[in-house]
Amino acid sequence: MAKMKGIVPVGDCKVQVREFEIPEPKDDEVLVEVKCSGICGSDVNTFRMSWEQINERQNLVVSHEAGGVVQKVGKNVENISVGDRVCIYHYLGCGKCKYCLEGKYGWCEDKEAYGWHFNGSAREYLIAKAVNCCPLPEELPFEDAAFMACSAGTAYASLKKLDSFAADGYLTVMGLGPIGMVCSLMAAAKGWNVLACDLSETRVKFAEGLGIHVIQSNGDSPLSEQIKDAMDGRLPIRIMDTTGHPSGLADAVEIAENGAHIVTIGKGRRKYLMSDRFDISEVVVKELVIQGSWVFTLPEYYEMMEFMVEHKLSFNNLVTGRYSFDEAQEAFEAVADMNNAGKTVFIKK
């Protein structure tokens, strides 16, 4: 049987390139040749774990951000054909509960995900349920699928939560990892005036190169003063916290205008507790609304896809590292470097 390569984390910042058999799709499944697979922040968390911490995911192929081309379809598959370009939605649900029926697979009690419950997307071929194969329009390169499967979907769903909120045209984005970058570009496409903040000079420079208005938040003056200077004396009424760090949310609360709406999306790998700088009395007195946002629904993929095509939006220029599967160790080390900016992906070279 034909073989393929897949990337398996083996603990303590090491990954192995292993050989697997290319699987055969069952009746309702599809075999996809992976053209691009992104490395997510959550994969870097796994990369840094010890073998014991990897626990139930030991020996599983990592990652969940894939785009590719359909190679084979099972006999019951009608919505997808061989040769179709697809982006793989990374959650599977029972398909019957109220959450699944709304497309909210992430809330299904029986949910499973690529790289968590079964082999992930950092491999040359993967099996997907037909329902998880979302169309990838010709206008969008396979690199975009790596964003749309995770970070861009998450950004799209969280920005929607700010849509309905009265605002002044500004959006402040905390953190310029891939999700912060994507949020900034998507919000700019919506016509919002984006101001982003990050500590890292590398990320600040990279974002500025993409035309994003950025404040480097470890400057000499308080962040709120820097923001006021950049926003005609105002403070943010609409804030997206993408830092996944307690200080990011504490900063957001600190800089928020009275009545502001904050959406927060990152959560890290451990129990995520508030910073001791987070002062609840500020939430009370300023009457802040703080809302969480967790990934995105399957229907939201289709909305995002139309949004991207309509606004001619691509995240291809956020890709700063393109590696083959054989270069997996190097690729993961590059992403784990805190000075890294942009997105790293595996592609067929």
CB of 90 to Zn ion, least distance (A): 7
Compute the radius of gyration of the chain from its Cα atoms: 20
CB of 327 to Zn ion, least distance (A): 20
- Identify which of residues 82 and 101 has a Cβ nearer to Zn ion in the complex: 101
- Identify which of residues 6 and 177 has a Cβ nearer to Zn ion in the complex: 177
CA distance 312 to 309: 5
- Identify which of residues 209 and 299 has a Cβ nearer to Zn ion in the complex: 299
CA distance 275 to 248: 9
CB of 227 to Zn ion, least distance (A): 29
Token couple for 11? 């603990």
Burial of 333 (0-12, 13-18, 19+ CB in 10 A): middle
- Identify which of residues 155 and 249 has a Cβ nearer to Zn ion in the complex: 155
CA distances from 319 to 164, 177, 301, 304 (A): 31, 12, 20, 19
> What residues make contact with Zn ion under the rule CB under 5 A?
40, 93-94, 97, 100, 108, 150
- Identify which of residues 40 and 54 has a Cβ nearer to Zn ion in the complex: 40
CB of 144 to Zn ion, least distance (A): 14
CB of 217 to Zn ion, least distance (A): 24
Token couple for 245? 């760090």
- Identify which of residues 108 and 313 has a Cβ nearer to Zn ion in the complex: 108
CA distances from 270 to 15, 31, 53, 91, 248 (A): 21, 34, 11, 21, 16
CB of 105 to Zn ion, least distance (A): 7
Burial of 296 (0-12, 13-18, 19+ CB in 10 A): buried
CB of 65 to Zn ion, least distance (A): 5
- Identify which of residues 108 and 162 has a Cβ nearer to Zn ion in the complex: 108
CA distance 206 to 211: 9
Burial of 45 (0-12, 13-18, 19+ CB in 10 A): middle
Maximum Cα–Cα distance across the chain: 66
CA distance 50 to 197: 32
